[in-house]
Amino acid sequence: MNTLSRLTWGGTAASVAIAVGVTRAGTAGGATPPDGPLSLWRPDTHSPVGWAVCALFGLAALALAFIRLYRLAEARAVDVRTVATIAACWCAPMLVAPPVLSLDVWSYFAQGTMVRQGLDPYAYGPSLLGPGDVLDAVSPVWRDTPAPYGPLMLAILTAAAEVGHPSLVALLLRALVLLAVVAVAVLVTRLAPPEERALALTLVAANPLVVVHLVGGAHLDALLGLLAAVTIYAVRRRWYVVAALAAALAFSVKLPGILLIGYLLAHLVRQPVPVRRRIAAAVTIGVVVLGCSLLVPHGWGWLSAMDVPGRVRIYWAPASLVGSVVYLVTGGVASYTDTLALARSVVAAAGAVTIAALLWRAGAEPNWRKAGALVGAALLVLASSGPVMHAWYVVWGGVLLAACAGAGARRWAVVLGAALCFSAVPDQLGGTLWSVLAVPLCLSVVVVDAVRTVFPAAVPRWAPAEAAADTA
């Protein structure tokens, strides 16, 4: 068995371990998700920690396989077809698993159900639905919070909720995410230079953040990644109305889409674009945004719910790290809550200034690939400078960085993708010895191996030779 075969089957086995481990471990914290089709998603109540450990080791193995695949792609030992095949094998086990390492899908379903019942999810939380299977599956943290999603996304969730059965809705949303990922993969191979297409596709389709969190977790953030790629592709082709349509739809899905609108407007202002095209693009943005706001009642209500994600604390988010450091340095002069609020404000302000500078510069950049990389960087800054940061937020700008950034940025993207694999682990590991020892150990091994990708001199000399042998 050659290296590529071992990589394919090893990564697939790791993905199976994650899917089975997460399924059997179940969830903690008060939520009770459905048992799934034929009760295949029913957890094992006797040994949940053992299954959680299985999923943890699967995460580490998949991350290591991803790093190895990237090295082979960088050595040009694999082509686009091979990467696509490997990515498909790694994603396959996720298709039949319950939502992986996140309960957001059940919040999606609850919010769509609220609209169907004439309730306003922008004003109330899912708890208004009352006791039942729909509310039981929602994390208690989000049962009394309004929806922070745009009207287009809420309309999609409402349509999905028409299916009625929670498990089928979850599978339907996962299918939508999978279609978005496939479309992103196609666009990325069009945007990237021919000799770098396998590299770009590896970062997009075989990345554990995509396999586990987008496909496995069924997060609709995949739509933002897709629309970001469409926007840059359309600007490259000078299809400004199409770019305006994509940017406006992205904003109507989730707030980060406003950065795509900002880039497009900066491009129209700072580039020699005919006036009629500028007007057409601006009108398209206005019409689409206003039209999407009519898809659901109180279509602008989501803008008042932008503080909802910040109601939880993500300890590894940059703002939380800054707040913790300041709290320790100052010796707790102010309460941790006040210190964290201040840190979030400072980090958000710094992020806003950086984003504005990146988008303004991108608008003036005549090289569309460099402009795409700058927009991707702006989206990444937004993801990391908010009050919270989830692994799947990285996909917003990661798609553009994979297609348009240089070799150095791509290598660091490998480190980021590998490290963020462990930003979410099975709930059952919490408070156990495994969370204290095994999680840091797995993270350290993966990050050290990923960092070796950033510094090629540290990679063993046999790697390119082995890759060449596999190709031959």
Cα-based angle 260, 262, 264 (whole degrees, multiple of 5)? 70
pLDDT at residue 463, rounded to an integer: 44
What pLDDT score does 74 carry? 92
pLDDT digits (tens, 9 = 90+) for 145-201: 999 999 999 999 999 999 988 999 999 999 999 999 999 999 999 999 999 999 999
pLDDT digits (tens, 9 = 90+) for 54-64: 999 999 999 99
pLDDT at 471 over 80: no
Q: pLDDT (tens digit, 9 = 90+) per residue, 311-370?
A: 888 888 899 999 999 999 988 788 888 999 999 999 999 999 999 999 999 999 999 999
DSSP code per residue over 331-373:
TSSS-HHHHHHHHHHHHHHHHHHHHHHHHHHHHH-SSHHHHHH
Question: Does residue 464 carry a pLDDT above 50?
Answer: no
Instruction: At 366, give phi and psi (nearest 5°).
Output: -70, -25
246-255 pLDDT tens trace: 999 999 999 9
Between helix 395-404 and helix 407-419 the angle, nearest 10°, is 150
Contact present, 254 and 292 (Cβ < 8 Å): no
User: Going by C-beta distance under 8 Å and a sequence separation of 6 or more, which residues neighbour residue 229?
Assistant: 184, 187, 188, 191, 399, 400, 403
Tell me the two tokens of residue 329: 């340095």
Q: What is the mean pLDDT of residues 109-116?
A: 95
Tokens representing 251 are 């904003």
| Under 8 Å between Cβ of 55 and 27 | no
Residue 1 banded pLDDT, cuts 50, 70, 90: low
CB 209 within 8 A of CB 394: yes
- Six-digit token string for 87: 């990515």
Whole-model pTM?
0.92
